[in-house]
């Protein structure tokens, strides 16, 4: 199929893609994400004896406290804020990979964001740490190193039905969002 304009023949797929790109750059909603820390908790889920530990004179099952390693579960509570950072509506908002987090509240079907509107979802990140004391567990980064630079994908559509995507890079130091024409 071809589209004729001013004596030029332009394939239809180029015309349609150009129109979609025009809408993306000039009429496309831009959804941005931010992860903000709320609180964190830790508790011991068990303990074991450090390899090479010496028994105390009291008996075979007695060890010094320094020889006991505790298994700590560190649970971080966060808010994931999604904001429509444009003057156009964002329709059918979806988080494509919520498994990046241990728990991520689900978006209702057909969730839309008005211009400059935002929503906040509850998010949890659980990590396990082995140490003698809880002080060492508290010194761990708020976002685990294993999640650093993980990418959360957010998909939405604009008024013309064009699918757009935001990639949110999870990091301790900065907030990074990249926008793509999907």
φ/ψ of residue 8, rounded to 5: -100, 145
List the domain boundaries for the chain: 20-181
Q: What is the DSSP letter of 14?
A: H
Measured between its terminal Cα atoms, the distance across the chain in Å is 23
| Burial (CB count within 10 angstroms: exposed 0-12, middle 13-18, buried 19+), residue 167 | middle
Tokens standing for 175?
């907030």
Tens-digit pLDDT profile for the chain (182 aa)?
Answer: 333 344 444 444 444 555 555 555 555 568 888 888 899 999 999 988 888 878 777 777 777 778 888 899 999 999 999 999 888 899 999 999 999 999 999 999 889 999 989 999 999 999 999 998 888 888 988 888 888 888 999 999 888 788 889 888 887 666 676 766 55
For the chain, how many residues are written?
182
Q: If residue 25 lies in a helix (H) or strand (E), which one and from where to where?
A: helix 12-27
């Amino acid at each position: 199929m071809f589209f004729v304009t001013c004596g030029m023949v332009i394939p239809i797929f180029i015309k349609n893609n150009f129109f979609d790109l025009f809408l993306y750059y000039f009429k496309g909603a831009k959804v941005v994400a931010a992860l903000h820390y709320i609180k964190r908790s830790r508790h011991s889920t068990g303990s074991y004896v450090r390899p090479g530990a010496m028994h105390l004179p009291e008996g075979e099952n007695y060890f010094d406290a320094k020889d006991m390693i505790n298994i700590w579960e560190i649970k971080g509570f966060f808010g994931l804020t999604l904001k429509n950072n444009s003057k156009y509506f964002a329709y059918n908002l979806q988080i494509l990979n919520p498994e990046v987090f241990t728990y991520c509240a689900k978006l209702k079907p057909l969730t839309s964001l008005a211009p400059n509107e935002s929503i906040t979802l509850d998010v949890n990140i659980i990590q396990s740490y082995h140490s003698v004391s809880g002080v060492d567990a508290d010194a761990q980064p708020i976002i685990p190193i294993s999640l650093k630079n993980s990418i959360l994908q957010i998909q939405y559509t604009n008024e013309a039905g064009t699918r757009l995507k935001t990639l949110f890079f999870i990091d301790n130091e900065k907030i990074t969002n990249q926008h793509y024409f999907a």
